[in-house]
Amino acid sequence: MSVLSNAVFNTNKALQSQPNPPKRSQIFELYASCLGFKTFAACKAASSHETFDKLKSVAPETIRARLQQRLTELSIPSAFLEPLAKSIWRELQELQTSAPQLVLGDAARYLGLLDGDVNLSPSQIKSLKQQLKAMAEAGDANARLLYVLWQFSELSVEAEFDEDIEELDEDDGSEYWYKQRLAGATLSTTATEWADAYERSLKDKQSLEQFISAFPLSSLAIPNIQDILHDSNDPNFSCSLSAHAVITSLEQYYPPSPEYLMLMSWYQLSNIQNPAYGSLQTLFNESGNLVEQYAIYLFALDCGVDISQGHYWLVNSNTGEEWDEHGPAEPQGVDGVDLPTLNAADSQSAVAMKDRLIALHRQSGKAR
């Protein structure tokens, strides 16, 4: 479905009171023209974010000029110019408010953080990244998160091709030959390659440090887990993303620092998205709120896990591996959690909190 479908519907409806109004197909053509496309077919072939990008250059006088020409080409009476211009301008203004969410959704799907295919050409991918970057630089926390993850994903791809360079750095004295060249030594072809590899690694490291400085962890969006638990708020955009993938990427490139505390919300979301005995016990034990703890226990039960029961198994005393009925055995495992005792009001609050966790878990099915 075209991103213009609702707008065209509204304009078509607004003109129905007039005699012989333009056909719906003609209104699609008029919208395309107002956005700078020669035909609606060309508009439809463009990606949604490209269409929204064109909204930035649309002004009332631009719409009037483009409409006037297209009305003539489609043999539509000029009497429709004013009502069309008014309606189309209003609808395009409404569409602009949807643009940021579309960019975020497309970027998240492109990065594999949300389910759903995004079939984009190289030029469309470039356009999407440029829009994401503009939103990030303007301070949008969601865009900053996705832009950082996009940059890191490209670094990971480059690293796969640079494994041989890393081997040179470690095994073949690239730093030594780099310093020799700085001192004025004439290097052999092989030594020059090693020195070049080391110089590139230095530049890459410096660029990464500058990028991280420009986009600190504290400026990136995080899941609003505590708001969901205690204030009945709806899950924010971050809650729809794959928390495990986000954590893996951020921890790989950001150096350990006090800002790592912001990752706690991502770990909580990961445990909710992927409920297992160990992760749910961790979620329970890290909470200092009795109502929250009981809600986590109830959530675990709904997921088929009883964290109040111990989890034990046998291992080989000599090897530490799971016991295979050979050799000496000893038990390993963890005790079940101690459940808090709640009054009736707190019990009701825990049930409501559990229901919100279940809803969040189900929503996470959209995340990879």
Name the residue among 364, 247, 340 with its Cα closest to residue 287. Answer: 340
Give the phi and the psi of residue 157 in degrees, each rounded to 5.
-65, -45
Inter-axis angle of helices 277-286 and 264-273, nearest 10:
140
Q: Can you give the pLDDT at residue 204? A: 74
Chain CA centroid to CA 105, Å:
7
pTM (two decimals): 0.73
Instruction: Note the maximum CA span of the chain.
Output: 94
Q: Can you give the pLDDT at residue 365? A: 53
**Residues 229, 292 contacting (CB under 8 angstroms):** yes
Q: Can you give the pLDDT at residue 2? A: 63
**Angle at CA 238, nearest 5°, toward 232 and 239?**
50
* Domain boundaries of the chain, sorted by first residue: 5-97, 107-219, 225-366
Question: Which tens digits make up the pLDDT trace of 92-138?
Answer: 888 877 778 888 998 999 999 988 777 778 888 888 898 899 899 99
Q: Can you give the pLDDT at residue 158? A: 55
Q: Can you give the pLDDT at residue 161? A: 40
Q: Which residues of the chain have pLDDT under 70?
A: 1-2, 47-49, 156-173, 364-368
